[in-house]
Structure 1
């Protein structure tokens, strides 16, 4: 029997691998992305079902945060798996941790929080809750805080919810959104229940 030579041994070639974005990078992107911004969270021939980056992207899509799609940048190029930021949803994201990862504790508020857009939004909502007014619409909030768009107002509310500073009931700012201030437990009035509507500020 002829002895097997080295040339007859099977040869193995390493195929293209899928590369994934780091989870921390993805989370930081979501917190700061504006509607329409895109994140390439994976590149390669196939997206692994158990890959943490893919799981996180699918979680965002289920919660209405992003739209997921694939694209090929050119002939012979690997597929890119992309998340595109949508308008932040009214309801906060559920604090679900990926397998093997614990949810991060809330960070302390920065010293300049009160002067930030988030801080001014919280102060305005707190004032409405203190005096029993209904929560302003996004248009009213944007006008009160001199924001460039009502979507910015919704984005700030979403950030306050994620930080655990407020809770929001209702699916829309137009049908009586009720905001609860977590620190005091006070809440804005129910607009549909005949509560006093938001009064526009005039003058200084």
Structure 2
């Protein structure tokens, strides 16, 4: 029996091949990680040959890197293995005012506060929401704003870094403003939607600061 040859492929016919795809982490999981990650901790946010320009995880990673929250890197776990795109939580450069470092200009952060936003209903249950409620209460009673370590102790947070990050989130959301005469002076918090301010530590008697 003679073999029957298969017909040759039509000249110029298109041929398609499915290449390796990039997998991305969920944005919600990335945000939860950033809120509690200690400096030096790593998170793989994508696995694959290239990052999509408009992929939400890639967009968020670029944003955090530009803001100094993380440093982004790439690596292969083994020869010929997939490329991992990961971020490493940066050591915060924090002054006494509790904001991420960088130069300060006349006692206020260079970053302009964003317009005030309406908080979601479940905001009060987040760390940032709890810190905001504490700051509102302190401003209403004319009390001095405590440092991050004291805020963490008051709200049962694990670390002072969590209090610092919560305050940074509130600044970025346009909910508060942080002022200090210098990076070595205690801060004054202004609640932007009411104008209420925590007390100026330089004008409060030492005996009253702990009340």
TM-score of the superposed pair, with normalisation by structure 1 = 0.65
CA offsets 1:156-202 (integer angstroms, 9 cap, x no match): 323544665433345987433221124532112344xx32267224x
Q: What is the alpha-carbon root mean square deviation over aligned residues?
A: 4.0
Q: 1:188 aligns with which of 193, 198, 202?
A: 198
Instruction: Quickly say closer, same or farther: Cα 1:68–1:182, change in 2 above 3 A.
Output: same
Larger Rg: 2
Structure 2 match to 1:56: 60
> Which structure 2 residue ranges, 5 or more long, are not aligned?
1-6, 101-108
Whether the aligned pair in 2 keeps the contact of 1:33 and 1:85 (CA below 8 Å) is no
> Which structure 1 residue ranges, 5 or more long, are not aligned?
97-103
Task: Establish whether residue 168 from structure 1 lines up as the match of residue 178 from structure 2.
Answer: yes
How far the C-alpha of 1:61 sits from its partner, in A, is 0.9
Structure 2 match to 1:99: none
C-alpha distance in 2, partners of 1:121/1:6?
68
C-alpha distance in 2, partners of 1:147/1:122?
14
Task: Establish whether residue 39 from structure 1 lines up as the match of residue 52 from structure 2.
Answer: no
Number of aligned residues: 185
Instruction: Quickly say closer, same or farther: Cα 1:143–1:172, change in 2 above 3 A.
Output: farther
C-alpha distance in 1, partners of 2:26/2:171?
24
C-alpha distance in 2, partners of 1:126/1:156?
14
How far the C-alpha of 1:56 sits from its partner, in A, is 1.8
C-alpha distance in 1, partners of 2:156/2:28?
32
Structure 1 match to 2:168: 158
Structure 1 match to 2:139: 129
Task: Establish whether residue 107 from structure 1 lines up as the match of residue 110 from structure 2.
Answer: no
How far the C-alpha of 1:34 sits from its partner, in A, is 2.2
Whether the aligned pair in 1 keeps the contact of 2:176 and 2:190 (CA below 8 Å) is yes
Equivalence map 1:3-42=2 (5 Å): 5-6=8-9, 12-30=16-34, 32-35=35-38, 36-42=40-46
Structure 1 match to 2:3: none
TM-score of the superposed pair, with normalisation by structure 2 = 0.63
Whether the aligned pair in 1 keeps the contact of 2:113 and 2:174 (CA below 8 Å) is no
Whether the aligned pair in 1 keeps the contact of 2:144 and 2:209 (CA below 8 Å) is no
C-alpha distance in 2, partners of 1:87/1:43?
25
Instruction: Quickly say closer, same or farther: Cα 1:122–1:105, change in 2 above 3 A.
Output: closer
